[in-house]
Amino acid sequence: MSVTSKASKESKQANSQKAGLSDVERAAIRDRAAELKSEARRSKSANKAAADERDALAKISNMEQPDRAIAERLHAIVTETAPELAPKLWYGQPAYARSGKVVCFFRSGQGDKQRYSTFGFTPEANLDEEHGLWATSFALAELTDRAEATIKRLLRAALG
C-alpha cells in the first residue's frame, strides 16, 4: 500500500469516527449484540423468560437513584397492568415484550447522560392516532400519580 493511500485510509477512518456513532451509541450496539447472543443461547432453555426477567431486574438494580426508583416502579406498573408483557433487556435497558417483540421500554437518563429518563413504545404497541400524530416516548423526570395513570392507559391501549 502506498504512503498516500494509507494516509487517505486513515483520514477516512478519522472522519467516519467524528461523523459516526457516539461512545454511548457504540456501547448500546455492543449491549444489543450481547443480548442477541444471550437470547440465542437461551432459546434452547426452558427458563428463558425467568432469565430475561433476572437480567432486566439486575440492570434496574444497578441504576443510580432516582432512575432506579423510577425503573422499579415502572416494572411494577407494567407487570401489574400488562402481565402478558415479558421483561427483557433491549439495547442494554429494561423493556417489555409480547411474543418476543418489544412493546415498551425504559431508558435511564443517567446512562445516556441526559437530564431525564425516557419511557417509550415501539410500533408493536400500535398506539396510532387517527389524526396521524402520536407520541411514542415520554421524558420521565419523576413518576407522579398522573404519569402513572397515563402509562397505565397507554399500556391498556397497546394491548387493546
The answer to whether 152 and 119 are in contact (CB under 8 A) is no
Confidence (pTM): 0.73
Q: Distances in Å between the alpha carbon of 156 and those of 9, 29, 70, 84, 152?
A: 53, 30, 20, 11, 6
pLDDT of residue 78: 98
Average pLDDT, the chain: 87
**Sign of the CA dihedral running 46, 107, 104, 28:** negative
Region of poorest pLDDT, from 35-39, 54-58, 148-152 = 35-39
Q: Over pLDDT 70: what percentage of the chain?
A: 84
